[in-house]
Chain A
Amino acid sequence: MHELAIIEGVLDMVTERLPDATISCVRLEVGELSGVVPDSLLFCFELATEGTSLQGASLEITQTPGHDLKIASVKVA
């Protein structure tokens, strides 16, 4: 399940970019051809955020055309 590796990458990028922020929401853009399953991303997001500063944050996914897989934005409380 590569979604776990992808979510770990997302969390690394977010915490690196905003190390001291309290993140309430992470918004991803997932291309329909990216080979990534949104349901699995959620499953992995819950697992991977447990016990971290992002625990309890929500994940919003916008499906987009094409291959791209992007962190669009984050909500900071």
Chain B
Amino acid sequence: MCATCGCSGKARLRLVPSGHDHDHAPGHAHHHGGEHDHGDDRTVVLQQKVLARNDELAGRNREWLRERGVVAVNLMSSPGAGKTTLLERTARELAGRLALAVIEGDQETALDADRISSAGCQVVQVNTGVGCHLDAVMVADALHALDPRPGSVVVIENVGNLVCPALFDLGEAARIVLASVTEGADKPAKYPHMFSRADVVLVSKTDLLPYVDFDVRRHAADVRQLSPGARMLQLSAVTGDGMQAWYDWLQLSQPG
């Protein structure tokens, strides 16, 4: 059994060394630029990016947002890092100062949307079912349902997961990764795909720093190595420490 995912490993997968995509008999010359015969089977060269469709739809979302004068940001973290708590406090404290709207992504329930709505913020919940991430189609539907007004900032709270959401462009202007001190400082090293594309890294739950073993310097150094340009902020959405810098960043990201 395969150690990665538990599949039966019925050996229909063949890993081929980089540089040549398939074996063929000696002397069987062929080019690699188009369709050509290959014994009984015919090979059709596609050379298509697998995520091309998602990327194209994300581009459409970006265009839709730009035309509306709306900016979207993609907020990602592991489950329980405090994304919703951060947004609740943000919505309460920036009420009247920033037009904020939220798209909530979870596998099931509208619990988070209820919390955001109670904080007085416009929100749409997306349930992904078995899906482990939001994709550009889901966000397009959610944006139409949300109907954000010009000048607003839409925070897309992705499904709690440090792996899959890293791959899917949603049409956002910035990617924010929230890392709580209770998770440990090794997360950037363990989940480099997520952190390497982050524009902002928020270290959350800093009020718990005296009680947990979280090496702030190591965390910052690892983030710096993966994403040298990322803005790093520390905050606690419970005590309010460090929240002002986050608000300043959000307000600067507001459309013209």
A18 lies within 8 A of B5 (CB): no
**Which residue of chain A has the shortest Cβ distance to B20 in the bound complex?**
A62
B9-28: contact bitstring with A at CB < 8 Å (1 yes, 0 no)?
A: 11011111110111000000
- Cα(A46)–Cα(B193), bound, Å: 26
- B20: A residues at CB distance < 8 A: 62
Residue among B21, B50, B130 making CB contact with A10, cutoff 8 Å: B50
Residue among B42, B49, B193 making CB contact with A76, cutoff 8 Å: B42
Residue among A9, A21, A72, A75 making CB contact with B47, cutoff 8 Å: A72
Q: Categorize the interface residue count of chain B.
A: 35 or more
A57-77: contact bitstring with B at CB < 8 Å (1 yes, 0 no)?
A: 011111111001111111111
Q: Categorize the interface residue count of chain A.
A: 35 or more
B94 at the interface (CB under 8 A from A): no
B40 lies within 8 A of A77 (CB): yes
A25 lies within 8 A of B131 (CB): no
A35 lies within 8 A of B166 (CB): yes
B48 lies within 8 A of A13 (CB): yes
Given A35-B163, A74-B44, A75-B43, check contact A58 B12 (CB 8 Å): yes
- Cα(A59)–Cα(B9), bound, Å: 12
- Cα(A41)–Cα(B12), bound, Å: 11
A76 lies within 8 A of B12 (CB): no
B2 at the interface (CB under 8 A from A): yes
- Cα(A18)–Cα(B6), bound, Å: 32
**Which residue of chain B has the shortest Cβ distance to A17 in the bound complex?**
B46
B132 at the interface (CB under 8 A from A): yes
A70 lies within 8 A of B44 (CB): no
**Which residue of chain B has the shortest Cβ distance to A30 in the bound complex?**
B50
